[in-house]
Amino acid sequence: MVSDRIPSPDGSADPSHRQLPSLDDAISELEAANEAADIERFDAAFRLVGGLLGPAGARESAAVGPRLAALLPAAPPFERAHLAMMVGACVERGADPVACADQVLAGLREALTGALLMIERWKETGGGELPDPEADNPGEAHARIADPDDPDGWPAHRAVIGWWTLHLWRMASFAVYTHAAVRTSARVSGVTDVLVELIERYGDEQHDLKGLLYLMKTLDDEPLLVLDRPSGTGYLVRLDGLTDNFQLHTLLAELLIGGGHLPGTRPDPEVVALSRTEEVDGRRRVTALGAFNLLAPDGSWIWNEGTPSDIPVVDGVRTLVLDPQPYERSWSAGRFIPQVPGDLRLERVLAPSEAAELLSRTAPAHPFEQAFR
């Protein structure tokens, strides 16, 4: 959690001590320093806010989240990323995620752009292992990638800041993206598409962005057409907060097999609960069992390791075909993003003629060997 990373006060300072200002007063000082563009004053106020925010209560933290978010655009670059972490902590404690999200996600976009520039410039200047943001000197990296013909050195500066702060922006962005209202707003505005494209360009370099990417691709309140080939039946269901296809697989089995629509073995209730809202107990492993082979209408496989967003949209609705399993599958029950509850609801059972017509447009499953190519 982001809130676990917020520092406590330095030394023996105690936020309850009457000589220390309140968190509200400290943020007012931070706002004034930010407005005056006084870096030394900002740094002092920033450290004070960090020390007071750590032990602050949920109500107090929630109240100041949007104020901290409003400071992000003009804050000094490295402090800005740590300030974003404070915003993320406030969101985890109840701050309005929508009011905090825009500036956090704008910062993530800037950091990703800088990190991609770092990778590009690193390759152009000799390649080799990229610097470790936790251990290496950003000044040395800047000196290596700077263009001697560029008088202001801004591209190199931007690259170094992005590379050294991306992990902080990732955590802050994760905190806001766990909320469906933020996911919906960012998707409608096109922000998510831009961020996903940047993350997919970034690939699997040093910073681990897989969890954030899955969270960005989470489907909320979205219809899904499910066609079961063996029985010739069809179902319109609605996805809500589903982050991975293991989760989708389990909830489909519960809905269709557990609901008496298809033959098979109903999932264990504990497996279903873990796919919806329950937390995984790390001391024991709960095993989920597969029930279907998930396919796109063109016969290509939809892998459990992917996300429901992998399911293609056909005639305006995501369409999934179910076939018998070619082999037995099992996995550890749970949700890839445990902070997000998920559910799957049945909206209607298709008429037999409608299901038959839709199934007639689908292709047989690709051969097992071809699926792995």
Taking the domains of the chain in order of start, what are their residue ranges? 2-216, 222-371
The pair of three-digit structure tokens given for residue 267, joined into one six-digit string: 């999932």
d(Cα 128, Cα 59) in Å, to the nearest integer? 48
Please state whether beta strands 222-228 and 317-323 pair in parallel, antiparallel, or not at all (unpaired): parallel
**Average pLDDT across the chain, whole number:** 91
Residue type, 159: A
Cα distances (Å, whole numbers) of residue 204 to 198, 207, 210: 12, 7, 8
- Cα dihedral 352, 355, 356, 359, rounded to 10, equals -160
Tell me which of 128-142, 198-212, 237-251 is least confident: 198-212
Strands (DSSP E) found in the chain: 222-228, 233-240, 287-289, 293-295, 313-314, 317-323, 330-332, 343-349
pLDDT at 208: 85
Taking residues 279-288, what's their average pLDDT?
Answer: 86
> φ, ψ for residue 18 (rounded to 5)?
-65, -20
Taking residues 123-151, what's their average pLDDT?
Answer: 90
Q: What are the residues facing 317 on neighbouring strands?
A: 314
Rounded (5°) CA angle 366-300-231: 80
Please state whether beta strands 222-228 and 330-332 pair in parallel, antiparallel, or not at all (unpaired): unpaired
Taking residues 29-47, what's their average pLDDT?
Answer: 92
d(Cα 330, Cα 301) in Å, to the nearest integer? 17
Higher pLDDT, 1 or 364: 364
Taking residues 313-336, what's their average pLDDT?
Answer: 95
**Which residues does 355 contact at the CB level (< 8 Å), separation at least 6?**
227, 232, 233, 234
